[in-house]
Structure 1
């Protein structure tokens, strides 16, 4: 007998039809999270289609054993689909990934900024290109294993931080648009990681004990300069290390080898005096690495571009709004005020923070004690 659902009854993904008639494309990286996501939906009776992206050449690309979307990961994703019983496809996105993520990563460092390639990957390859593929496959929605929650609000779907604060990935998903959020689903957002692994073991998935990815997928052992040197050979230009008054203290190999807040590896020796020096800022145009005392890292004003707003109303209407922000994925949201001055978006922190670097993200949250709702965010261009 065919299962029917009334027009007033929604399934767990929010559609007024049986699970078996609801097609879900699941983005499968080969890790435990996306594998459990796909297996759970299939077990609930949904019409699941798994898709894994080949993001770089298996043999020639720079990769590590703990990366995602490498050869072993594609094999693991395929094994999960075979065990559970749903179709699985591998799509070659090497060119898209190189142009949208890897080259942007290298060029951002060469400009004296510090990139976040995982955000760029979500913003372009996964939530733009793959989402279009899901629609072409006739999917009602696309699901991922991200730890974040999609909550139906009075004005449509909202993005909320994950139940497991230690695994929350809202910082990396600040660029998710209203249109994307309408099509996306995050079945693991209400779980903690231990529960996810327990479910993987219960379902007999081959990835149940697979370690989490630790490094950027195309950066082996965290050596990002190896990637830049390979993609942009001979691009690094030596220059001066100077103090905040412009006094030359030493020489450097290239601004790409330094990040804001860095203390070790400056090679200044006795020129530093008694107080330790930190990289305060980078000037790629002048080829300078500017250093100063720890207090010189304090910033309370952040300027942003490419701002995405998924809060109530419009971004312009949010001028002067009290919000919470994260300038690092590992920090709790901190109090701030959002300002829009002739189109320029500025965040004023309630308390100065250290080591805020251009190229990084500033994610916005609702100004409540729990700061659960994600309001969007932008890319840091400069600080003051």
Structure 2
């Protein structure tokens, strides 16, 4: 398995010369400044590739080439959006990058309620409180039917939390939830969020699946011609959020997606933390079932609660059996004769990490610890 490290380019406080000290071989990156739906020019891609290679790395994975919200909604000038996506893929391939991660989550790329939850013995981690999220949807957002979407224990606890929450508490929760909305921190307030949610009004799970199927039909043949492996990222968390449908949350969801375009280049980003956040997901079994269509791997761990809450644990301390997952992946590598790129996904904020203005979860020391632990598993199993 090939060690990679996610790097946010000009938005990342961790320079590549420090990343080099982690031992990672490849970089996972994106062009975060390009607006969604616009073509990634070959010039911009080449500049990022040169920047990465000058530091002694290869650009192994694009994460992500974002899918415009109009494609997910099935509205607007879809012909132009599909053409732009295909041209971006062509430009990426021309610069030698052959793995592209993407997601199909409406509006929110990921959702947490706490960005700095305390960890025993020091440090902080990301946390999803079903109670706080229920409070956010019921009391702060005022979404109709939100009470029916959460475990009743979470609803009761959320009511109690909101009753005692200060304005600062509510602001911190709003900030945490909005952190999963790329570029939105400076343009959405509660009213703005309500407004953008109305653009998905009436869109069902079946509608979103149909729109994903259309997207795949438009781009997978091009990816196959270009030699690009497309790998969809699971929903994070794997459940409906804010009344928005989620369709990449389970083994059955993944099976449907891979059958929609039954081409080996249309594959999965196996994110053990995202899938592992749902009580019903057996992540080692999912790794085994879809081993031949996994093109990229995010390895992290979570501890779950029965009300739907979860905490991002240390990589070897959660509910997901990462040793079993890695064992399945190593077996698949031998069978497929591939070197799967993986990264230590997220990490606790440890020591000087707490003083760094990094993207949530993308700490230096915490991820270095995770990568070291995962490296040990891989060496032992190999």
Fold-level match, TM-score > 0.5?
no
- Higher-helix-fraction structure: 2
Higher relative contact order (CA 8 A, sep 6+): 2
Which of the two has higher C-alpha Rg? 1
TM-score, length basis structure 2: 0.26
TM-score, length basis structure 1: 0.26
